Amino acid sequence: MVVGDFPIDVDTLVVGAGPGGYVAAIRAAQLGQKVTIVEKDNLGGVCLNVGCIPSKAMIQAGHLTDYAHGTEELGIKTENVTVDFSKVQEWKGKVVNKLTSGVEGLLKGNKVDIVKGEVYFVNDHSVKVMDEKKSQTYNFNNCIIATGSRPIEIPGFKFSGRVLDSTGALNLKEIPNKLVVIGGGYIGTELGSAFANFGTEVTILEGAKDILGTFEKQMTQLVKKRLKKKNATIVTEAMAKGAEETENGVKVTYEAKGKTETIEADYVLVTVGRRPNTDEIGLEQAGVEVGERGLIKVDKQSRTNVKNIYAIGDIVPGTPLAHKASYEGKVAAEAISGQKAEIDYIGMPAVVFSDPELASVGYTEQEAKDAGYDVKASKFPFAANGRALALNNSDGFLKLITRKEDGLVIGAQIAGPNASDMIAELGLAIEAGMTAEDIALTVHAHPTLGEITMEAAEVALGTPIHMLGGK
């Protein structure tokens, strides 16, 4: 007997259960909508399963391995440090499973219906959800598309046993002796640093003039210095030409400074960017316009050109950040519910979990000048902070960007330990319209890295306590 495909009606359909989709679904449900979320793979998307979370677990394991070797300067010596990489992978898996199961619990707790399958749009109010056994039609009043992105595969480097994307690198069963990383962006730098901490001989090939090109040179110089201390090699303005798998590894050919070079390694990791997943879900059937590079243009409420269909995360313009996707998901859910929520990216932080960590929020000094602001850039070094010295990790600085006329905080950049956590206070300062004086008058506990934020604010005011000159 053939079972008919009787359409199921929902208020809001969310396509994709990554950090954008599941957050949007929960917020929409909190606001009284009947919500169904569809995911073809695992709840949590790339971020929780094969991206942000497992990579940070791997980075932490790498740091612990590095620390385990001891520091003679502190009188700590160790011998015969070993890493059971299968245990590292097992622990990483437990972290991922705990979070993905937590997402499932949160969705169910908010009465969101979870559906497994692939979505294909039929028109601007319905989709087909297909799995291996059946096809089911869902009619929706509103839809939020959060399908994320996938790694870009470049010519000559087809993903295979020895040519890896970030997912493959995170699931290696052994620590490579040699690893070539193509692309010195945040993913390549983070994973390259992690494996360097495990003792891998890492070579990073970057096509541009510098790695981590979206950050200021003073910040990236610190990362390069640390990488070189870990015996990593960085080749900039290098064009990757091809990879040839051998019996026990891979040969990578690249061109730099007018010469063709070959390097052998156990694996090559390709991290040259990601492509939005907008090409196989039938957006044309719904009338949704897809622009340059497969990205969907949206308005300040994440709405596409089709008034009841929204798009968030890696499939819309902007840096592909998990927290950006979550933020956009909340705005879309609130807009559907009739609220006046709008996107404002000025307080959107960007973080690289390199060594040292890099973080930025708001304007850089140059961006502020280009935007027509008369600004003051005030720096305070980690080397003048007691907590950083006690951690034996004092490379780096905090740079505060303030408007000269009134001291308004409009940007900040941090290079140093715990930059990823410290940037939140400065994001709050920007969102709340705070001035350097507001930060300077806020008592920060001693001895903490957080004091560096207060000290930089005092530099901006021209009254620094722990630094001479005030510039």
pLDDT averaged over 10-residue windows placed end to end, the chain, 471 residues: 74 98 98 98 96 97 93 90 96 96 98 98 98 93 98 96 96 97 97 97 98 96 97 97 94 96 98 96 98 95 98 97 98 97 96 98 97 98 98 97 98 98 98 98 98 98 89 51
Whole-angstrom Cα distance, residue 47 to residue 49? 6
Domains of the chain (ranges, CATH numbers): 8-150+275-345 (3.50.50.60), 163-272 (3.50.50.60), 356-461 (3.30.390.30)
Whole-angstrom Cα distance, residue 107 to residue 140? 19
pTM across the whole model: 0.95
CB atoms within 10 A of CB 301: 17
- The helix/strand/coil state of 85 is helix
Instruction: Please say if 444 is a catalytic residue.
Output: no
DSSP string for 394-424 = ---EEEEEEETTT-BEEEEEEESTTHHHHHH
Whole-angstrom Cα distance, residue 211 to residue 272? 12
pLDDT of residue 1: 35
What residues have CB less than 8 Å from 59, skipping those under 6 apart? Answer: 190, 193, 194, 353
Options 125, 444, 446, 466, the catalytic residue? 446
pLDDT of residue 470: 59
pLDDT of residue 100: 96
pLDDT of residue 2: 44
Q: What are φ and ψ of residue 113, in 5° steps?
A: -75, 130
Residue with tokens 């156990």: 266
Query: What are the structure tokens assigned to 36, written together?
Result: 């169904």
**Closest CA relative to residue 254, chosen from 204, 211, 188:** 204
pLDDT of residue 265: 98
State how far the alpha carbon of 193 is from the alpha carbons of 119, 136, 232, 234, 355, in Å: 37, 45, 8, 11, 7
Q: What are φ and ψ of residue 28, in 5° steps?
A: -60, -40
Q: Confirm if 243 and 159 have CB atoms less than 8 A apart.
A: no
- The strand order across the sheet containing 397-403 reads 350-352, 358-362, 409-415, 397-403, 375-381
- Total H helices, total E strands in the chain: 14, 22
